[in-house]
A = this chain, B = another copy of it.
Amino acid sequence: MKGLVLLTINTKESCKEGDSVEGTREKRILLAHGDGGALTYQLIQELFLKYFTEGPLQQQNDGALLRDLPGPPVVSTDSFVITPYFFPGGDIGKLAVAGTVNDLAVTGAEPLYLTVSFILEEGLLMADLESIVASLAQTAQEAGVAVVAGDTKVVEKGRGDGIYINTTGIGFLPEQRELGYQRIEAGDKILINGTVGDHGLAILSKRSGLAFDTELRSDCAPLNNLIATILEKCPGAVKFMRDATRGGVATTAKEIALATGKDLLLWEEDLPIREEAAGASEFLGLDPLYMANEGKVLFIVQGDRAQEVLEVMKEHQLGQESAIIGTVEKGKREEGHVLLKTFFGSHRILEMMAGDPLPRIC
């Protein structure tokens, strides 16, 4: 646990923002903000339209008319229920953009548009909502996607948890971006764009009230620019991508093994991990390979081009700590396996995560 000093353990309550000012006179969300009447109208006019300034949303129609897509559409949807909704390195608004943008980007698609739908709990601080909406809007701008349609519902206190957000992303598949399980073969290399486990460990430390001397921060970030850069600079080299979110690198790798029947061999000594994350994992008895990431992608790359891809990744701000972490091998059994070659040289079989120690991690 070198490099890690446990400073304090706070009570669980202290980490839930929004509850701390119970009883003050701050403006809060009411049931009527979600009923489609005058207060809904006011919320849209005074809050949402202040941050979402793109054309289609400003029209306020039931449906947003978009420009023709330059290729076949790709869509992805995700609901975000993370607790706490503010955490080191991000918040539920940033996460709701990054999560869906990344789901589109790993298919090879270019994300263009997002829809955003809020389920608010009665009593949510208006200031918290505004902060989340501002963060969501800023992340969307950074990722180059436009928020084009929205919806707001309010549920009674005790029927939600502050705020849940659904985002649905729409993009298009540019030509010559054929990615898929079917391209994966023995000899391919496995790459990742940086350290593992940061998101899950940051949430857990925040939630449990643990404070370390070096703060663990979520890696939550939209990766569409990094991915587009790799695909453009190394055409054909990447065969498959998947973001290692819930279930972590181990579960994502196992999904690939199951879908292809191949074995994936990961090298523990090459796995990038922050010192403080390794320490926190050890302290908490958790395996960083199963901790969720929100800014990390596994790339399956043609073996003889792995070095070329790695160099491009390392030049990008979101790939500076990229590494080649394993290789694809011919499956030796009926079902594909994931094997971790440990520091000690032994091989450990990694199964799919069964029962997350951390519910509501995204």
Contacts and interface: CB of A to CB of B under 8 A. Distances in A.
Nearest to A245: B36
A292 to B, nearest CB: 8
Interface in A90-145: 102-104, 106-107, 109, 113, 115-119
A184 interface: no
A336 interface: no
Interface stretch (A65-73, A203-211, A300-308, A310-318): A65-73
Contacts of A348: none
Contact of A68 (B72, B153, B247, B361): B72
Given A37-B246, A62-B106, A104-B63, A78 B160 contact: no
A319 to B, nearest CB: 19
Interface string A226-253: 0000000000000000110111000100
Interface in A313-362: 352-356, 358-361
Which 8 pairs show the lowest CB-CB distances between chains A and B? A36-B246, A35-B356, A77-B115, A168-B168, A37-B353, A62-B103, A166-B166, A63-B107
12 contacts: A35-B247, A35-B358, A36-B356, A37-B354, A37-B355, A41-B352, A64-B75, A65-B107, A81-B119, A119-B164, A154-B359, A155-B161
